[in-house]
Amino acid sequence: MLDTFDHKILVQLISKRINDKGFIDLLHKALKAGYMFQGQFYSPDKGTPQGSIVSPILCNILLHGLDEFVLDLQNNFEVGKRCRLIHFEEDLLEPA
């Protein structure tokens, strides 16, 4: 997941809570920073570099957004059955 997410989605999720243009610009720069491999520079348009110190945090932000999206779908399409979301190493829905 870390190497395939769309930068725009991440920035939209973060922009909902952080209204600091300087921080958002810094995030864009960090995501576009790229890497060197065998003497060639690669600039990613998706994902975040593996091993980056912020990769786990960015992944958790994306997963939280996904959780909210799925729960919103559930609320719109499922009637009468309550569920609660539990976070472990894998996310799962458990009947309440």
| CA terminus-to-terminus distance, the chain | 29
Residue 86 near residue 94 (C-beta atoms within 8 A): yes
pTM over 0.85: no
Residue 49 near residue 35 (C-beta atoms within 8 A): yes
Angle at 13 between CA 26 and CA 53, to 5 degrees: 50
What confidence category does residue 20 fall into, taking pLDDT thresholds of 50, 70 and 90?
A: very high
Express each pLDDT in 78-92 by its tens digit: 666 666 666 554 444
Predicted confidence at residue 21, as pLDDT, reads 92
Angle between helices 21-32 and 7-17 (to 10 degrees): 160
Mean pLDDT of 33-49: 80
- Beta strands 83-87; 91-95: pairing state: antiparallel
